[in-house]
Amino acid sequence: MADPGSNSATPSSAIPPPSAVPPPSAFGIDLHLELTGPGLRVGLTDALREAVRTGRLAPGALLPSSRSLAADLGIARNTVVDAYARLVAEGWLTAQQGSGTRVARRAEPVGATPAGVRTRPAEGGPRYNLLLGSPNLSEFPRKQWLAAARRALTAAPHEAFGLGDALGRVELRTALAGYLTRARGVHAEPERVVICSGFHHGLMLITRVLQARQVPAVAIESYGLDVSRDQLASAGLRTPSLHVDERGARTDDLVRLRGVGAVLLTPAHQFPTGVVLHRDRRAAAVEWARATGGLILEDDYDGEFRYDRQPVGAVQGLDPERVVYFGTVSKSLAPGLRLAWMVLPRDLVPEIVAAKGQADWVSSALEQLTFAEFIASGEYDRQVRSMRLRYRRRRDQLVAALARRAPGIRVTGIAAGLQMVLELPPGTESSVVEAAARQGLAVSGMAEFRYDVAGSGAQLPLRDALVVNYAAPSNSAWAGALDALCAVMPSAGDAAAE
């Protein structure tokens, strides 16, 4: 039995009911101060003055109430009141009934930029950005996303605020399974969907599994992202490449590559050339995987966007047990959401869970719940359809402008996706990229994405071209970006002379 005179227990009558707990606004803000000097009043005054002078308390910042600060520091409230009054008199602080005590607007920290002087970064970015990797961020559906977030947060169970299942929130996995089956022809069930923070997070998990299986090599396409190849190579995997032509990657060459246990493909819209993997080559890849026990890693990075053709279904639909399907919102919504997914062969699920850990450490549960609601409400379909029309309009505007102003430029890879390839006269790629940079226009040359065809001893032929992301510029910047791009294109006479 506890000693009646001890403090080891608190009487239940001393605990205020929830209705008696003051609202958060009653507690004031937190403020760390170190009191020095001969007395508390002088020490507090000096500490506050120094915090304002150095900018740790910015102009306009609201200070804690005298009662809150006194309680935090364990001093008398009159000491705080006196310190505040002294600093108000000196002009460091302002006090107004109903508005609290704030740092004076005219109290600038030492070294601050004089009023009216605007600073500029040492190195500004490009005026127009046509680099690959981003959709039109100005079109992010803020209102609809916020509404979905409110609904999701209201309905979220308490356990949603924990780390959760390594596979990801079941609400999102269920919504994605339905969407992918309907829209992309993927065979998906919630129990084989894994949520990750981006394509390369998913690729990292697959790489760990391949390492555990002692796979020595992963084949890649002869054009692609360095970051993907480097991620595989850094794990000790060889990365022989398959030549890409107008029918996509030559997957029939897989049978001649030694030690390859997986192949990374972008079949719906090859990155960055824009070609579609031919049905015969799709079949060849699946036959290879079945015969060898290999895996096809299918990156469906922008499969929602097609314009002049029927939708191209996922390779995963041909054999769900031999294909790992990757998807992401990076192109359909925004890369900053950090939401992606894998649809796995059944036997791969336990290995991916082991590689990821027993809890979901990387993906926000609230964003997963919001996206699940966004899909279930139909807003995701509406956003994709809306952006498909907008991107098609931009594509058509760019093709028409090039036909008028640079008729010697051949345009390819335009049936789908967010980028197109502008074929240049031989030997002109680097000079065009440099000319664009001088005009404040950021573009990519095809050489950035070119790999040699390993294992065959062959070298890819040089192909001078620009790869242009026509989706990225904001609506207000699009006309200027279009004009700047056309201005740096070689003229018809230049192209004919080559």
pLDDT value, residue 124:
56
Q: Which of 310, 273, 284 is nearest to 444 (CA)?
A: 273
Reported as a pLDDT band with limits 50, 70 and 90, residue 116 is very low
Inter-residue contact 351 to 334 (CB < 8 Å): no
Domains of the chain in start order, with CATH, are 23-103 (1.10.10.10), 140-378 (3.40.640.10), 382-497 (3.90.1150.10)
pLDDT value, residue 420:
94
Inter-residue contact 452 to 372 (CB < 8 Å): no
- Highest mean pLDDT, choosing among 79-88, 143-152, 157-166: 143-152
Inter-residue contact 355 to 208 (CB < 8 Å): yes
11-20, 237-246, 416-425: which range is least confident on average?
11-20
Q: Give the type of residue at 164.
A: G
pLDDT value, residue 16:
46
Rounded to whole angstroms, how far apart are CA atoms 139 and 332?
A: 10
Query: Of 431 and 115, which is predicted with more confidence?
Result: 431
Reported as a pLDDT band with limits 50, 70 and 90, residue 473 is very high
Rounded to whole angstroms, how far apart are CA atoms 444 and 446?
A: 7
Q: CA angle 420-466-129, nearest 5°?
A: 80
105-109, 122-126, 154-158, 261-265: which range is least confident on average?
105-109
Q: How many CB atoms lie within 10 A of CB 351?
A: 18
Inter-residue contact 62 to 100 (CB < 8 Å): yes
Q: Which residue is associated with the tokens 């995701």?
A: 380
Bridge partners (DSSP) listed for residue 248: 245
Rounded to whole angstroms, how far apart are CA atoms 61 and 105?
A: 9
The tens digit of pLDDT for each residue in 35-79 reads: 765 677 888 888 898 888 888 888 888 888 888 888 888 888 888
SS3 sequence, 163-203?
Answer: CCECCCCHHHHHHHHHHHHHHHCCCCCHHHEEEECCHHHHH
The DSSP line for 240-253 is -EE-EETTEE-GGG
22-36, 309-323, 366-380, 476-490: which range is least confident on average?
22-36
| Whole-number average pLDDT of the chain | 85
How big is the chain by its Cα radius of gyration, in Å?
30
Inter-residue contact 127 to 472 (CB < 8 Å): no
The tens digit of pLDDT for each residue in 313-370 reads: 899 999 999 999 999 999 999 999 999 999 999 999 999 999 998 777 788 999 999 9
Q: Which residue is associated with the tokens 């197109």?
A: 420
Mean pLDDT of 297-325: 89
pLDDT at 113 > cutoff 60: no
Q: Quick one: which H or E segment has residue 295?
A: strand 295-299
Q: Which of 124, 127, 224, 128 is nearest to 471 (CA)?
A: 128
The secondary structure of residue 11, as a DSSP letter, is: -
pLDDT value, residue 461:
57
Rounded to whole angstroms, how far apart are CA atoms 464 and 435?
A: 15
pLDDT value, residue 29:
65
pLDDT value, residue 122:
34
The tens digit of pLDDT for each residue in 169-196 reads: 999 999 999 999 999 999 999 999 999 9
Q: Give the type of residue at 170.
A: V
